[in-house]
Amino acid sequence: MRFRASVYVALKPAVNDPQGNAVMDGLHALGFESAANVRVGKYLTLELDADDQAAAKRQAESMCDRLLANPVIETYTVEVAAAE
């Protein structure tokens, strides 16, 4: 069966995020003065084959552990749904 996975990778809260700080400065310069705590992560989508939804999720999590996320500084969340 074909599945579509959405993967959200975010820096752990304790990790400094210079890109997020740069975006926050940009938002302030545009007048969004209340913007704070801006963090920039990755949002990946992909398709994969698996026997069922649980297997698809396990496979996507394995992809995260091995390639898509750096477990030392990042956390990830995976959502899986049947591909149309």
Token output for 31: 């007048």
Q: Site map for its own copies, 6-25, x if CB under 8 A?
A: --xxx---------x--xx-
CB-neighbour burial class of residue 34 (10 A; exposed 0-12, middle 13-18, buried 19+): exposed
If one asks whether residue 55 binds its own copies (CB under 8 A), the answer comes out as: no
Token output for 56: 């698809």
What residues between 30 and 49 interact with its own copies by CB under 8 A? 30, 32, 34-49
Q: What are the residues binding its own copies (CB under 8 A)?
A: 8-10, 20, 23-24, 26-27, 30, 32, 34-50, 59, 62-63, 66-68
